[in-house]
Amino acid sequence: MVANAFAGLGFTPEAPTVTEFPIEMFVPGSDLSPLEQNIDKVVYGLSQWQPGAKKQAAGAKEQLEAGGRDYEEASSRLNQLFLRKGWGDGLPLLPPTEERVSWILSGTDLPRDRIIGKILPQGRIATVETLAINLAMAGGRPEYLPVLIAAIEGIIDPAVVHQSFNATTCSIFPAMIVNGPVARQIRLNSGYGCLGPSSRFPAGGSIGRAVRLLLVNVGGAVPGLGSMSIFGGAGKYTNVVFAEDEEGLPEGWEPLSASYFGYSRGSNTVAVHPVSSCVNVGDTSIGSAETVPSTLHSFAANMRLPNMNYWLRSVARPEGTPGIVVMARGTARGLARFGWTREKVQAFLWEHSKVPWQVLQQVGADTLESRVAAHKYLAMGVPWPVTERPEDIMIVVAGGQQSGHGYWMQNGPSFKPVCKEIRLPPNWDSLLKQAEEDLGPVPGWL
């Protein structure tokens, strides 16, 4: 991991300051003799070693070639080459040929060498072309590129602290929610199966996988080297990219982009928030006013987990969120039918998801560190709310026309969610026309 970070800063990976110790040495009461045996190396590295930077001409790019008897064999050999180099996500990739990358780049009017930013922990620089290359490998299309650009801008926003979630031991991945007409235009799912695979709505899988490839290939989040996520988590393959069901919003409910981030309704945006786990919430059907409390209690019960990822961050950035509540249009409209606004729902969930103090004590939350991170206005011994304010709970309407099930996406080690505007190129209409020729008419959302 240290060599990974050194390489990203331009240093040679075999820097003499790097001395590896067995991980067992950091367990209390373990044998510390390896430290004594290597103390001279440590002192030398801290007091005398001088860094040597690797030089590379500006704009220089490594060109790879993979041949074979036919395209299929050449493609197979290219994937084998990627695996040997430790690139990619382990699944087959489409060859990012010059022709295919140029096609993807037709999805933006930004120059290909425009710098988007640095992706950590390795710290390589991502340009528009870098994004296009990884989107090409993920099977993407030109009309996906504006969303990918905005998503990466959101991920590297300092508020998200992506260097933490990309390298942490936690099983964390970014959730990305798109609002505005662009979602339907690029075939991004907001209905049934919106968090999973779909041949009718392929955009989410391709964009999410491109994000993962960028976090690995550019950010260096290789398991065991740049990413120390103990379990990884299935969500890391394609992350989660979906659209809000704006057509299904109840009267008086604004979309996430407007209600949470202040954009005007109809703006094309993507919200980014890293989450560490997801759970299906049952019993969310609302047939009468009497069933509303039980439905909301179902959500609150799943939210009522002692999530130290949030509390330990709240001292530095109290305006964060505990996670994302996803409810289908049937549930949201049922709530609205009986007089429940989004704000009223947030207030109920905030009040009834508080974690009892005795539960916190059982999981070790009464340590000094957790006490410091507790909300300032709370006394020890009383239940802790999962966030400082009810309005910090993110609520997204998506998942089909029914009710019956909801979803809770719990916060990971991140300070706060961000939202970025999606900028469309002047040739947007022609891109959509070509997509319709390639894929057929845009299917209706269900």
Residue appearing with tokens 């939202």: 419
Is 50 exceeded by the pLDDT of residue 316? Answer: no
pLDDT digits (tens, 9 = 90+) for 112-145: 999 999 999 989 999 999 999 999 999 999 999 9
Who has greater pLDDT, 185 or 230? 185
**Average pLDDT, stretch 155-171?**
88
Range with the poorest average pLDDT among 194-203, 271-280, 384-393, 407-416: 407-416
Residue appearing with tokens 């007089």: 339
Is 60 exceeded by the pLDDT of residue 83? Answer: yes
Model-level pTM?
0.88
Is 90 exceeded by the pLDDT of residue 196? Answer: yes
How many C-beta atoms surround the C-beta of residue 381 within 10 A? Answer: 11
